[in-house]
Amino acid sequence: MLFGSARRGFRHFLRDRHGLPDLRTEALLEKHRKEMGDPRNTTALQSNKGFFKSFWQLSKPYWFSVDWQNKEEIKHKALSWAFLAASLGLTFYSVREVAVGFNDWNGEIGNFIQQSYNVVAKGEQATTEAWNKFGHFMQDLGILTTKMLVAGATNYKVAQLAVLRWRKWMTASYENRLLKYKNFYHMQYGKYSIDNFDQRIQEDPAKFADAAVEIVTDSFDAALSFATFSAILYGLSNEFNLATVGGPEIIIPKFMFTLVMAYAALGTVLTHYAGKSLEKWAQKQQAYEAMYRSDLINIREKAEQVALNNSENTQKGILTKSFNDLYQNFHRIINVKTGLLVMRVVYHRLAGAVPLVVTFPDVVAGKMQIGDIFKTIGAFSEVKNAMSWYVNNAPLIKQTKASMNRLIELEDVLTQLEKEHGERTQRSASNSPRTAHQPAL
């Protein structure tokens, strides 16, 4: 009936085949992990920055900085801005043209159905004019649906093109900084070691860029939907007397509009506290997955040593411990996500019934027609969804923050290494003997 706009064990070590005890102790295992870059032992700079500060730090170099002497960079970023602007423009069209169109269509066909029913209830037959009007409604529905599909598909494609270009730029930037001044060596064995910088460069820019563009476009959609449909809902809302449902004699003006604001605010607060720990566990999961993959790579790279030393049981113990870490941590993520899922399901299901319950007194009093009810329900749903932006995007935000933290840590380590290289170069230059042509300092 309603159409919305188209808008994400065990830890014991085995013994070897000769029956000899495995000499790999827990201390040696921890030493190995530290050498391999275990996140629990890393000396990397830890990121404790807030979401928006981290978001700005990672976004600014690409979207708000440009080398005006580099024509290729200017062209690259200008095209990315064009893709992003096109996505926002299509979002605007989807809300103001398509979503509002569907809501008006709901109201008009609702009133038409009520009028047709009243005619039939009187024992009269539906006229040819009524059937023609119904055909026009179906034609309008087809046009709106086509607009929705074309705008939605085009919006997705241009947004993903912006994401792809951003990821390409970020990856190239990290590659250049990694290979500069032998930073890759210092990050593995130096003072500011960091776990699995290879995974951070390969995986996290893609996750962050995709989520960042989605968050920006969804935020714009939510703000525009709120501004558009709150005005519609405000005009459709009537006062409500609590005495109608057995309460005190208190009249609440624009009750439907007031209710959706309170309902969305409550859902946002509850969701924030229910999913507060997801960011921490998601970041740990990325680290544990990387650690497990690193241990597997270690076996592949040292296959000859492992075979000659008959140390399969040692490697089995390392892999078992690595996998158990990620296995247990993922259980925590499942628990948090389950709580969020239950809350979201209850939140959205109740939201569907609220406008029906609230409009019932006006219906029986003859103050509202079926079409007005349909429009009220549609506007209520759109405003609720706009106000519930955080509720709907909480898991994405928490997981994106985990990827952002890993990228910020990588950037901070690279910045520190570049700073130290500059200091070493300066000291070397100042300590080198002066030539005859060098002026005295």
20 assigned to some structural domain: no
The pLDDT of residue 412 is 92
Tokens of 49: 């920055």
Mean pLDDT in consecutive groups of 10 residues from the start of the chain, 441 residues: 39 30 40 46 56 93 92 94 97 95 92 84 76 92 96 96 96 94 87 83 94 94 92 83 77 82 81 77 84 88 87 90 92 88 81 77 75 85 83 82 91 92 87 53 35
Any domain includes 37: yes
- Note whether residue 11 is domain-resident: no
* Per-residue pLDDT at 46: 56
Q: How far apart are CA 66 and CA 46, in angstroms?
A: 28
Residue type, 22: D
3 domain-assigned: no
- CATH for 319: 1.20.1560.10
Q: Contact 108/371 with Cβ under 8 angstroms? A: yes
Residue 422 in domain:
no
- The answer to whether residue 8 is domain-embedded is no
Which residue bears the tokens 């996750």?
A: 207
CA–CA separation, 165 vs 352, rounded Å?
Answer: 40
pLDDT score of 164 = 97
pTM: 0.71
* C-alpha distances out from residue 259 to 57, 167, 362, 432, Å: 38, 42, 16, 75
Please check whether residue 189 lies inside any domain of the structure: yes
Enclosing domain of residue 304: 27-416
Residues in CB range of 25: below 8 A, 6 or more apart: none
Residue 123 lies in a domain: yes
pLDDT at position 47: 56
Q: Are 126 and 255 in contact (CB under 8 A)?
A: no
Q: What CA–CA distance (Å, rounded) separates 126 from 196?
A: 72
Q: How many domains does the chain have?
A: 1
